[in-house]
Structure 1
């Protein structure tokens, strides 16, 4: 019996071994350092990216997969899994044209293809968790409509915050002015960001000092989760697993941790916020 095949893009920041385990097809975005082009997670690792970012005089740019990139993947799946429907889940359309490329690819297919394209309204493992959940349900034989309903339910339950270590990259990318960045750096300001219901990144709070910012993130999760005391958690880091493990240690004094995922914050988010970011995604166990 044909079962649903899950496709996503590299901004989901799913660890490679997890994607392989759940048979998820990952379409890479492109990263451009000057005249050099890399496929995210294929030609350049997270560590290599952050090492280069620290030395870069100009910020790298990113570009979404082309519709042709998606057509190749969809056609490959149809050959390998004849008759299987495809569920393709992607980064928020408010942050990237990746979702639009997938839509165009579907329209380019020669035959009427059973492909469903989903705008996750999120970024990084904020939708990576949705992709893995979808893949697990697909392996159980659930229909696309059932998987989408379960994914939407999880999306509403999942909470997320990003802690930014430096304002330098937000300033370089034109998100804030140079004076504000300098002022924030002098005051050791650590912005906490999140993503709203429309899939747009927004500032939650600015906290002085990383230790206080980490404590404040946990307080925000406590407000969001209410009386829940058993959670699943994913922590994204910028090729610095020790920082993620430190956060987990703090979190474990407040919650019983069930499923725990450590992953890298990928090049797309990293190119805007820089190294030292901690991204935390929590959903009820």
Structure 2
């Protein structure tokens, strides 16, 4: 009989309570300072990363090889026969490739690595749905078949107070930056079908950017009902204001807000506000 484990990485932005409730394992990315390295979400918080920005902007890296290896050893020891890794876009991180290599060293557990082509809650939702399918008794092959279809139902859109950190981190993708920053142009950023950043729209100033974010949400809600998450990076008050502006929109099945992971915050800088949607087809 199949015993299926679901794991993801710390860029998923799932809350601890959801990870615990559905038994989802998490591989922490690394946050690297000149004199110390921390496991994302485990040994350092997003607030700490933002507070230290003036002193040093850290780098990020893949989960440690020993952590990936230990995950598989633990799963084997606990009697799992199959594992599904639902991971950050391969266009933004080499995490999926690293996990694939380590998985090959553990042939005793059949592993499927799924590239979400996304990040933050748009990644986390896909991991959560995989875990729900396990709970429903779906087979390994059924979950593998369902994930690519579900991937098309989620998107994330966000704007930044500055593109400086995205540029420094080499994650700028298809988003053009420096001239726009001088003119206070705020791009609305999403992740395309190739799993890299691109500009959905542009706004002059932060307030207009927030209004365009809400317009994008409304466009989604006109097509179908949605579950909605408002995500922020060191911008709790701004996120709360967005929640107040959208909470009564028709078609929202659920609405939550939270802060992005420390590793994502390194590349966005303080001030990110975004909206993640899961379109619930047929409702």
Q: TM-score of the superposition, structure 1-length normalised?
A: 0.88
**Paired residue total:** 276
Q: Is residue 276 of structure 1 aligned with residue 271 of structure 2? A: yes
Would you say the 8 A contact 1:7–1:25 is kept in 2? yes
Ranges in structure 2 where 5+ consecutive residues have no aligned partner? none
How far apart are the structure 1 equivalents of 2:181 and 2:195?
A: 28
Tell me the equivalent position of 1:103.
100
SS at match of 1:245: helix
Aligned to 2:71: 73
Q: Which residue of 1 aligns with 2:261?
A: 266
CA contact (8 A) 2:165 2:268 kept: yes
CA distance in 1, matches of 2:217, 2:104: 41
After superposition, the Cα gap between the structure-2 partners of 1:231 and 1:265, relative to the gap in structure 1 and judged at 3 Å, is: same
Counterpart mapping for 1:10-89 below 5 A: 10-53=10-53, 55-57=54-56, 59-80=57-78, 82-89=79-86
> 1: CA distance between counterparts of 2:212 and 2:114?
32
SS where residue 52 of structure 2 aligns?
helix
Deviations 1:253-282 (A, max 9, x none): 433422333232223332222111012111
CA distance in 2, matches of 1:152, 1:171: 30
* Cα distance change, pair 3–263 in 1 and its aligned pair in 2 (3 A): farther
Distance 2:68 2:102 in 1: 6
Partners of 1:200 and 1:51 in 2: how far apart? 28
CA contact (8 A) 1:66 1:101 kept: no
Residues 21, 241 of structure 1: alpha-carbon distance in 2 compared, 3 angstrom cutoff: farther
How far apart, in 2, do the equivalents of 1:41 and 1:97 lie?
A: 19
In 2 relative to 1, CA 86–42 (structure 1 residues): closer, same or farther, beyond 3 Å? same
Secondary structure of the equivalent of 1:108? Answer: coil
Counterpart CA distance in 2 for 1:76 and 1:169 is 36
1:247 to 233, 242, 247: 242
Contact 1:159 1:224 in 2 (8 A): no
CA distance in 1, matches of 2:40, 2:191: 22
Map of 2:90 onto structure 1:
93
Structure 1 residues 208 and 66: CA distance shift in structure 2, 3 A: same
Instruction: Give 2:163's match in structure 1, choosing from 155, 161, 167.
Output: 167
91-100 or 243-252, which deviates more? 243-252
Deviates more, 1:235-244 or 1:130-139: 235-244
Task: Decide whether aligned partners of structure 1 residues 196 and 186 sit closer, same or farther in structure 2, where only a CA change above 3 A counts.
Answer: closer
Once the 2 structures are TM-superposed, how far is the Cα of residue 185 of structure 1 from its aligned partner? 4.5
Deviates further, 90-99 or 204-213:
204-213
CA contact (8 A) 1:130 1:154 kept: yes
Question: Structure 1 residues 128 and 168 mapped into 2: Cα distance closer, same or farther (>3 Å)?
Answer: same
Q: Deviations over 1:68-124 (max 9, x none)?
A: 3212101101212x1431111111111111001110011112x43211111111111
Displacement of 1:159 = 2.5
